[in-house]
Amino acid sequence: MFCMAPKYAIFFIPELEDRKKISKLRSKMCKLYHTTQALQYPVHMSLASGTELKDYSLFEKEIKELCKNRKPLTMYAEKNTSVLPDRFWTGIHIKKSKKLLDFKNKLESIKNKHSTKPVKMYFVPHITLAFPAKVDNIEPAKNPVTKLILNRIAIVKKERKWAPYRIHKYIKLA
């Protein structure tokens, strides 16, 4: 059997109450459009894409150092879900802010510093509800949350090539 080195990525995972609200809508969308791929992952927004690391402990140490000096960040979602038929996708777009982009770029810089193959992620802040799905006839829905607090990140880990990422460790912001 083929073994690979684990890959790590960085997610924002909303607080429990917000996750419950988003999960309810995500489950409804996935059932309606006969897709389960989005359900294999926790409700999240990707902040840094997955990569193999040279030294996980040094990576984690730098991420903790960055986070201990960061205050929680308020993020705002669009009022309605977005539907992109050409991408077979529906989800919640998060409005970009300078603080969010700055934090994401710093996380990605640390990840790439410790990566065996640095990769720059094209960043469109969002939370996926259903993908892949034939969404041609989907009407945007009212978002169950319009404000999210980024007060922790999750380092997620993938053990096998086709496996989904699983939460490895949470790191709180100051």
Query: Quick check: is 1 in a domain?
Result: no
Q: pLDDT by residue (tens digit) across 73-86?
A: 999 999 999 888 77
Q: Is residue 117 part of a domain?
A: yes
| Within a domain: 44 | yes
* Secondary structure (3-state) at 146: coil
Q: Do the Cβ atoms of 89 and 131 come closer than 8 Å?
A: yes
* CATH number, residue 158: 3.90.1140.10
pTM of the model: 0.92
2 is a domain residue: no
Query: Does some domain include residue 146?
Result: yes
pLDDT of residue 167: 95
At 131, the pLDDT band (50, 70, 90 cuts) reads confident
How many domains in the chain? 1
Question: Which of 39-53, 132-146, 149-163 is predicted with the least confidence, judged by mean pLDDT?
Answer: 132-146
Average pLDDT, the chain: 92
pLDDT over 90 at 103, yes or no: yes
Q: Is residue 15 part of a domain?
A: yes
Residue 77 lies in a domain: yes
Q: Does residue 115 sit within a domain?
A: yes
Average pLDDT over residues 101-119: 96
What is the pLDDT, as a whole number, of residue 32?
85
Torsion of CA 137, 37, 144, 15, to 10 degrees: -170
Asked if pLDDT for residue 19 goes beyond 70, the answer is yes
Cβ atoms 66, 131 nearer than 8 A: no
Query: What is the residue range of 17's domain?
Result: 7-172
pLDDT digits (tens, 9 = 90+) for 26-64: 999 898 888 888 898 999 999 999 999 999 999 999 999
User: What is the pLDDT, as a whole number, of residue 158?
Assistant: 94
d(Cα 160, Cα 140) in Å, to the nearest integer? 35
Buried b (16+ CB within 10 A) or exposed e, 57-87: eebbebbeebbeebeebebebeeebbbeeee
- State both tokens at 3: 């073994």
What is the structure's pLDDT at 118? 92
Query: What span, in angstroms and rounded, lies between the C-alpha atoms of 22 and 30?
Result: 12
What stretch of H or E contains 135?
Answer: none
Whole-number pLDDT of residue 2: 55
How far is CA 20 from each of CA 14, 69, 153, 156, rounded to the nearest angstrom?
A: 9, 29, 18, 20
